[in-house]
Amino acid sequence: MTTAPLSARLPGTWRLLSRVDVTDNGTPHPDPALGSDPIALLVYDRSGHFTAQFMKRDRSSVPREGPVATSNNTLAQGGYDAYFGTYSVDDDTGIVTQRLEGALSQANVDAVLSRAMNVDDQTLIIELPTSAWDGTPVTRTLTWARIG
């Protein structure tokens, strides 16, 4: 039985189930900008375009000051993050490269972000090395459910 390549399994609409940040020693390190359980929607279409929206569930407790820069990630503002652009898939490595054409944070426009992704039936797992709000290196794992 041949499994379809990632480029064929990725397109769709995805709802975030979990977003977990851990340090190198495995300690949870939640992001205060979006919280440990944001609401999010991610869409990859078959023509190579994508969009992502993230919102902190309780936006009454958002940090006023944010990081100057983050590593391999975008910047949330006011408990919200959004960006869109084009994407390409390397089926051999499972790496998806996203080119941001627009973003809530001007600093993210034209950014190129690469993510390891895996689609298993109706679940999308994205894993990326990044830095937390306070600069701590973390590995972020996002688990998504297909809704469309």
Per-residue confidence band for 4, with pLDDT thresholds at 50, 70 and 90: very high
User: What per-residue confidence (pLDDT) applies to 75?
Assistant: 82
72 domain-assigned: yes
- Tell me if 30 is assigned to some domain: yes
Domains: count for the chain: 1
Q: pLDDT tier at 111 (50, 70, 90 boundaries)?
A: very high
Domain-embedded: residue 108 = yes
CA separation, residue 107 to residues 8, 40, 47, 96, 122 (Å): 31, 21, 26, 21, 33
User: What distance in Å separates the CA atoms of residue 117 and residue 137, rounded to the nearest whole number?
Assistant: 20
Domain that holds residue 77: 6-146
In degrees and rounded to multiples of 5, residue 74 shows phi and psi of: -105, 170
> Quick check: is 1 in a domain?
no
Does 74 fall in a domain? yes
Q: Which residue has the higher pLDDT, 58 or 11?
A: 11
C-alpha distances in Å from residue 21, one per residue of 44, 59, 91, 148: 23, 19, 26, 26
CATH of the domain at 50: 2.40.128.280
Is residue 41 assigned to a domain? Answer: yes
Q: What is the pLDDT of residues 15-51, one digit of tens each?
A: 999 999 999 999 999 888 898 899 999 999 999 999 9
Answer for the pair 113, 42: CB distance below 8 angstroms, yes or no: no
User: Taking the model in full, what pTM does it have?
Assistant: 0.91
58-102 pLDDT per residue, tens: 988 877 666 556 667 788 888 999 999 999 999 999 999 999 999
